[in-house]
Amino acid sequence: MPKRMVYLLTFWGGIAATVQPSINARLAQKTGVIESACVSFAVGTLVFSLVIFFAGTGTPRAFWMRSGGS
């Protein structure tokens, strides 16, 4: 994975981590705490699955190894 892509993903991940608590709090007010947690985990799972799918490796371990993880 090119360094630019890693920096870009890191940048967007930081923004997402900053914004997520306020989004979860608003969602919890509308739907309930358990329901908002389910939505949060479902969206995270979907996004991670898409990353794995488009990385073309098919498994989280292969994706990690290909991106330079140890």
- At 9-66, the pLDDT tens digits run 899 989 989 998 999 999 999 999 999 999 999 998 998 888 777 776 556 666 666 6
pLDDT at 19: 93
Q: Say what the pTM is.
A: 0.58
Euclidean distance between CA atoms 7 and 67, whole angstroms: 12
pLDDT at 1: 67
pLDDT at 48: 81
CB half-sphere exposure, 43, CA atoms < 13 A: 10
Euclidean distance between CA atoms 65 and 37, whole angstroms: 30
